Structures are given as C-alpha cells and as structure tokens.
Amino acid sequence: MIQVVVFDVDGVLIRDGVFAAMLEKQGLTRERTASFFQGGPFTECVLGNADLKEAISPFLAEWGWRDSVDDLLRMWFEADSVVNTDVTDVVAHLRRSGLSCFVASTQEAYRAAYLTNTMGLGLRFDGLFFSCHMLAKKPEAAFFATVTEQIGTRPEQILFIDDHQANVDGARAANWNAELYSFGDDIESILRAYQIPLPNSPPQQRSLGG
C-alpha cells in the first residue's frame, strides 16, 4: 500500500518552459544557451558543487545579457512559478488523509530556496529533496537511495510522479512505484489506479505501468 507520494517540480507542480520561451523571444535560443544549461557548468550547480551566480556570469556577455545576474535569476524564478493547482489541491487532501507528500527535484541552491520559501512549497509538503543538497541528481541511483533513506519507509510504499521517462525508470529501478505525468494531465486517475482514495472518487483497480 502506498504511504508516501513524491512529486517532481518542473512540469508537474509548476508549469515548465516559460522562462525558456521568454529567452527565445530575446534571441537566446536553447542552442545559444546549451553550453551552460545543458553542459557541465549548470550540472555542477545542481549537484551543489558550484554557485549559480558565479558559474553563469561569464556566459552573460556572450549571450548579450545587459542586466545583472540577479535580474536574470529574478526573471527565471518568477517566470517558472505557475503552480499546478490540480496537483497542490490533491497534495493538501492526501496530507489531511494521513499520507506523506514530498518533493524530489533536480535544482540548484538559489531556486531551491525560492521554491521552498518564496513560493511556500516548504509549507505544502512534508519535506523537500533537492539535488543541490544531496550531491546527486535524478535519475541517478544515489538520488533515490538518499531520498528513500531520509523518508524512512520501504521503497515499494513510495509513489513517484515525474514528467521525464528517464526519471520514472530510475525510480522504478530503485523499487519505487513511479508514473509519468505532465502539467495538465489527470493526476487523480494516476492516484486512483494505486487505490489512493480521493474526494468523492472511489478507488479503482491499479492498471498503470510499473
């Protein structure tokens, strides 16, 4: 029986891609920014080995960014902050029903703090697990092992919701239950399939993968 539900952030709890779309409008395409965001510098940030402000500063002149690093981060964090109320409403119900709900996400330290404090996710969940505090990121086995240990329950009692198949596969390899979900999908159908009761919705026989 599921005792714990763990949620990803971007693409699940929060609409993903708004900041990237804003950069595109300014001519900063994914190709132009890939050397940072899809390369080693940002990876070191999300692993907690580098400071984002220091790591990204040398790239700003190359991108033609004329404002400060803080301005860029403010734009990023505020843009990618549209909350999926379908999911957060379900989280509130699950916690009232006695299930524990956690966040598990690949994030660097500044945005992790923004999510926790400014957006208030720290008050909406029983705990938040960010890669920058764990020296491991999804879908690495060490990430899921650390979260399992800190939650303190058996892996088979955990249900993980993520919008990337590689992360779902990594969770399943760690003996978690895991399902693919993207912003706007029906979260309740996933939970009912695991016989997790929701308001006015009788549990159904589990039929999803994994």
Is the pLDDT confidence value at 210 over 60? no
d(CA 160, CA 139): 12
Helix (H, G, I), strand (E, B) or coil at 10: strand
| Higher local confidence (pLDDT), 200 or 47 | 47
Residue 34, number of CB atoms within 10 A of its CB: 11
CA triplet 173, 174, 176: central angle to 5 degrees?
100
Per-residue pLDDT, averaged over 81-87, amounts to 96
Query: What pLDDT, on the 0 to 100 scale, is given for residue 142?
Result: 98
pLDDT band at 200 (very low <50, low <70, confident <90, very high): low
Per-residue pLDDT, averaged over 87-100, amounts to 96
Query: What pLDDT, on the 0 to 100 scale, is given for residue 201?
Result: 57
Query: What pLDDT, on the 0 to 100 scale, is given for residue 205?
Result: 40
Per-residue pLDDT, averaged over 31-42, amounts to 89
Contact, 11 vs 87, CB < 8 A? no
Is the pLDDT confidence value at 158 over 80? yes
In sequence order, the 6+-apart residues with CB closer than 8 A to the CB of 3 are 99, 100, 153, 157, 158
Quickly list DSSP for 47-73.
TTSS-HHHHHHHHHHHHT--S-HHHHH
Domain boundaries, the chain: 4-15+82-193, 18-79
pLDDT band at 27 (very low <50, low <70, confident <90, very high): confident
DSSP 8-state assignment for residue 113: H
Chain-centre distance for alpha carbon 28? 24
0.75 cut: is pTM over it? yes
4-15+82-193 CATH, one of 3.40.190.10, 3.40.50.1000, 2.40.110.10, 2.40.50.180: 3.40.50.1000
Is the pLDDT confidence value at 206 over 60? no
Percent of the chain with pLDDT over 70: 95
